[in-house]
Amino acid sequence: MPESKRDMRHSSVEDRTDWAKVDAHVIQPEEYDDAPDLSDVAPETGDFHIGDRLVRPRMGRPPLAGRTEEVTLHLDADVIARYRASGPGWQSRMNAALREALDRDATS
């Protein structure tokens, strides 16, 4: 692989951006339709209001209804492989299967 391609593969998008071209761009009238409507944003603070109410963005994942606990658990490799192969959400499905087994044991 040529050195320049190797460098690009490891450089960030920031490093590859032609900022002179970005700065020189003049927005054309047809591009205004693509721009977001910022009429509800106070430009001096960046605050967003709906009516008189200040709306704050939520950061991160939404809180879960029940608390979970991170643990280190040793399981057979084939069990992990089968759950991972089922795609995203495999840990939640594994948790559901464990809960189902607990409920089944409690009723027997």
Q: Where are the domains of the chain?
A: 77-107
| The predicted structure's pLDDT at residue 34 | 80
| The predicted structure's pLDDT at residue 18 | 86
Amino acid letter for position 26: V
| The predicted structure's pLDDT at residue 1 | 47
The stretches in the chain having pLDDT less than 50 are: 1
Contact of 90 with 83, CB cutoff 8 Å: yes
| The predicted structure's pLDDT at residue 94 | 94
| The predicted structure's pLDDT at residue 41 | 63
- pTM value surpassing 0.85: no
Residue 84: C-alpha distances to residues 78, 89, 101 (Å): 10, 9, 20
